[in-house]
A = this chain, B = another copy of it.
Amino acid sequence: MSGDSDPAEVLSREGQIKEIGGGKKASATIYDIAKIAGVNASTVSRALNKPGRVSAKTQKLVEDAVEELNFRANPFARALPTGRTNNLGLIVADITNPSFFDLIRGAGKGSALQDFTLVLAESAESGVAELTAARRMLGTVDGLILASPRMDDKDIRSLARHKHVVVINREVDGVPCVIPDASKGIGQAVRSLAANGHRKLAFVAGPPRSWMSDRRWEGIQAACEWSRLAATRLESTTPTLEGGRKVARAVRESGATAVMTYNDLLAIGLMQELQVAGIEVPDALSIVGFDDIFGADFTTPSLTTIRSPLGECGSLATRLMLDLLDGSQGETCTLHAETELVLRGSSGRLLSA
């Protein structure tokens, strides 16, 4: 497995090495292999993508030639007549947000598996940048996966009119979605807190317009009602470490002994600030985050959190997209992925009053 089968060497067998801009070598075309196999180019094309519609002999001839020239069909030339690019677009709100890493990987693996290429863009959390990126991609891809999109519903639907779109982490009417269902993990977390003697819980919310934040709050309210916990909602400035630190004061004043935050970053920032103030976690206050991001176990104590299976969402979304593309799946399907509680050190029994 190395650079042995260099097409360039073989190409020179024809006595003429094709040069291409930048002094790089061009690659073989179906005509090259047609010549070697002694058949017509259209037969080569058939042998390559409609297996069984050429004679076994011809098939072998073609395959040998393909092997010899190390031929790979030009994706661009192929895209022209078929309209299919074999590219999948993925737009994430923020590449540096660790929540998305697994998602990107999941999508990458899923598409590579089906010989699709992943085209990536990020929107830097801006709705207009997102739309721009999406428009740019429209011409390049067969389908678009939007992870935690920031643009309007109607913009998403407008995109969906041109290409297949799958949305992750948000529900958009009329567009296929993949969303983690927070209720299971939330139920586990709240029950765990209740069992540890907590009676009053605070939820630190995320961005005002975040669809996910509202769903989580709803889930928490329901679970608290069920477990007979009082639940209050606090607003954060930004869903970051900094935002978590800033909300510490409100948390203390709320009188809650358990806190759940919109995401792990908030939880970690909050924990840092509380510890600076001399408040023991989890002895005096339990903290539960959301997402189980990279680094959630770096803290002391390590962070209890509700894991969203973003990696799974990524691969689910690509699979869904692929099904959409070959028509084996309807347009209006919504998939749910389950969340689960990851119990670590930042939550536990209430010790001090």
| A-to-B contact residues, CB < 8 Å | 1-3, 6-8, 20-22, 24-27, 72-77, 79-80, 83-85, 87, 95-96, 98, 101-102, 104-105, 108, 112, 115, 117-122, 127-128, 131, 133, 135-140, 152, 154-155, 157-159, 161-164, 241, 268, 275, 294-295, 297-300, 324-325, 327
Contacts and interface: CB of A to CB of B under 8 A. Distances in A.
Residue among A84, A300, A324 with the highest chain B CB neighbour number at 10 A = A300
A117 B136 contact: yes
A201 to B, nearest CB: 24
A272 B98 CA distance: 21
Given A21-B83, A25-B162, A95-B105, A72 B121 contact: no
Contacts of A83: 20-21, 26
A132 to B, nearest CB: 9
Contacts of A112: 121, 133, 136
A114 to B, nearest CB: 12
Contacts of A84: 21
B3 A155 contact: yes
A63 B3 CA distance: 47
A24 B80 contact: no
Given A300-B300, A324-B22, A158 B119 contact: no
